[in-house]
Structure formats: C-alpha cells, structure tokens
C-alpha cells in the first residue's frame, strides 16, 4: 500500500515503477484533511519507485507499507 496523511490542492498522485513513465502501480486522488491510500499492483521485488504528481497537489507524510495499512497518527 501507499498512503498520504493529508493533501492540499487538486490533482492526483501516481505511483510508478522503474521510471516516471513506468508501470502504473497505483493512484491516489486525495481529499483535503483526509488520509488517502491505494493498493500497489505489480510492486514486488527491488524496484525504483516514483511519485508523479499531476495538478497542484501537495501532500504530507507519504508512507509505503506491506499488508494492512496502519492508521496515521
């Protein structure tokens, strides 16, 4: 999983593997003041990970985690 604690602005965050235009593993369309998360598809083994922002979205506390996500503090 990948998640962010909070986001401002509008747009989306793409999680891409191996290159900024590589395999799309997940997408978050965050809502202000609400934690957002996505399951990552095809993200196994040792990979380079790119967070690609589209629009004017800013976010805090990015987290990657295996299994069920933990709540943000």
Rounded to two decimals, what is the model's pTM?
0.82
Tokens of 69: 């996500």
- Per DSSP, the residues of 8-19 read ESSEEEEEEESS
What is the reported pLDDT for 6? Answer: 83
Strands across the sheet containing 11-17: 23-28, 11-17, 49-55
Q: What tens-digit pLDDT sequence spans the chain (73 residues)?
A: 888 888 888 899 999 999 999 999 999 998 888 888 888 998 888 889 999 999 998 888 888 887 665 666 6
What is the reported pLDDT for 51? Answer: 94
């Amino acid at each position: 999983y990948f998640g962010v604690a909070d986001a401002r602005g509008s747009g989306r965050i793409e999680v891409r593997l191996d290159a900024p235009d590589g395999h799309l593993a997940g997408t978050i369309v965050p809502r202000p003041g609400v934690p957002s998360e996505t399951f990552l598809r095809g993200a196994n083994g040792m990979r380079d990970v790119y967070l690609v922002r589209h629009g004017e979205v800013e976010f805090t506390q990015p987290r990657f985690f295996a299994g069920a996500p933990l709540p943000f503090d």
